[in-house]
Amino acid sequence: MQLPDGRTLGFAEYGRSDDYPLIFIHGFPTSRPETLGIDEIVLRQRIRVITPDRNGFGLTTFDPKHTILQWPHDIQSLGQDLGLSRFAILGGSGGGPFALACADRLSPDMLSAVGIMTGAGPWEAGTHYMASLYRASAKMADRWPIDGRSMALVICSSAPVALLDAEESLVFTLWSSANRQTPSQD
């Protein structure tokens, strides 16, 4: 979709259009394919998952001046474009700070819930606690020019991360905490 400032915002959707909307904000170094493989879960739980690519990831235009606190404007535009009046947000790993920015900047009338799943700390804390794949990805992203960085992100995000039972429980908890009717358990 085209954002009001002219940038492109890439996103993927899973589930049915009339199910409860959950915007999932991907971590680093992935993009919208992070939520591949969740169709069965979201259909069963009656959740519509929308996963936008963050600034410079996947299909979303890179703007070096775009900050975390500007991300909520992109989410608000996405919600309006999709006709969503109310939705929940879940930030995974490096998407956690972006979820918090949405909690701070978006109207409570728009947000039913905000959650963080395996939140990541600030980059200033260093990468010594990260898995070796993520440490290597962080080094590539810092040192490669934008075209190389984009290629590294595509390569790293080509292995989809599926939501497992523990995460399904987290999504279900977030969904039901929004005071919605409890989805049926199969």
**Predicted local distance difference test score (pLDDT) of residue 73:** 97
Residue 15 lies in a domain: yes
Helix (H) or strand (E) holding 14: strand 11-14
Give the contacts of 111 (CB within 8 A, at least 6 positions apart). Answer: 86, 87, 88, 89, 102, 103
Residue 47 lies in a domain: yes
- Global pTM reads 0.68
Enumerate residue ranges in the chain where pLDDT < 70.
Answer: 120-130, 134, 137-186
Q: Is residue 1 included in any domain, yes or no? A: no
Q: What is the per-residue pLDDT for 5? A: 94
Domain of 73: which CATH number? 3.40.50.1820
CA-closest candidate to residue 3, choices 77, 65, 75: 77
For residue 182, is it within any domain? Answer: no
Strands 47-52 and 11-14: antiparallel
**Number of domains, the chain:** 1
In a domain, 76, yes or no: yes
How high is the pLDDT of residue 47?
A: 93
Residue ranges making up the domain that contains 34: 11-126+161-177
